Amino acid sequence: MTKILEMYKCNICGNIVEVVLSGEGELVCCGQPMEKMEEHTNNEEMTGEKHVPVIEKTQDGVIVKVGSIPHPMENEHYIMFIEVNSKDKRYVKRKYLHPHEEPVLNLKCSCDKVIARELCNIHGLWTSNESQS
């Protein structure tokens, strides 16, 4: 069974899909089952300090920066998107990024608690479960 906001990747063509509604069955691409992308956190790898989203509360909402140490944004290694979700997963905001663009998302919102995640083209999906109060 798939769950809302899970991401899956095709290991043949590289397609990435995100589940928008939970359902039964298996996701398939190129004739093969798609692999569920695991969400990494700061506790898992040394590269976490460059990848884990950092959530800062502002007067109007939140700012999400990628990493406590700036992440490279080169043609070969960059953040593909930053996403912010409300804790109840009812609200989702995503910003797609390109190489050489600053990996920051400014979001005006009234959500008390948010979850942020980002996708690195090399190191995969990273999440921060830090809550803002």
pLDDT at 132: 42
pLDDT in tens, 11-29: 999 999 999 999 998 999 9
Same domain, 46 and 28: no
Same domain, 13 and 73: no
- Quote the pTM value: 0.87
- What is the average pLDDT across 17-45? 90
CB-CB contact of 128 with 54 (8 Å): yes
Number of domains within the chain: 2
pLDDT at 5: 93
Same domain, 45 and 31: no
Token pair belonging to 75: 């043609």
Supply the range of the domain harboring residue 86: 39-128
pLDDT at 45: 54
pLDDT at 21: 92
Same domain, 80 and 103: yes
Same domain, 94 and 112: yes
pLDDT in tens, 69-127: 889 999 999 999 999 998 888 889 999 999 999 999 999 988 778 999 999 999 999 99
Same domain, 67 and 30: no
CB-CB contact of 74 with 126 (8 Å): no
